[in-house]
Structure 1
Amino acid sequence: MVEPIPPITLPAATNPVQEGEWLQRNLHKWLDQEFLPEAINHTIAQRAAQIYVRQRMEDENDLGSLVLAIISEMQAFDFSQSFYSEFAVANAVSDILLDSLGIDRCCGQ
Structure 2
Amino acid sequence: MTEPIPPISLPPTLHPEQEGEWLRTHLLAWLDQEFLPEPVNQQIAQRAAQVFVRQRMEGENDVGSLLVAILTEMKAFDFSQSFYSEFAVANAVSDLLLASLGIDRCCGQ
TM-score range, shorter chain: over 0.9
Q: CA deviation at 1:83?
A: 0.4
Q: Which residue of 1 aligns with 2:64?
A: 64
Map 1:1-109 to 2 at 5 A.
1-109=1-109
Alignment gaps of 5+ in structure 2: none
Taking structure 1 as the reference length, what is the TM-score of the superposition?
0.98
- Aligned partners of 1:11, 1:27: CA distance in 2, in Å? 20
Task: Encode CA deviations 1:60-86: one digit per residue, 9 max, x unaligned.
Answer: 000000000000000000000000000
Gaps of 5+ in 1: none
| RMSD over aligned Cα atoms | 0.6
Shift of residue 108, structure 1, vs aligned partner: 3.1
Q: Cα distance, 1:52 vs. partner?
A: 0.0
* 1:47 aligned counterpart, secondary structure: helix
Share of identical aligned residues, percent? Answer: 75
TM-score by length of 2: 0.98
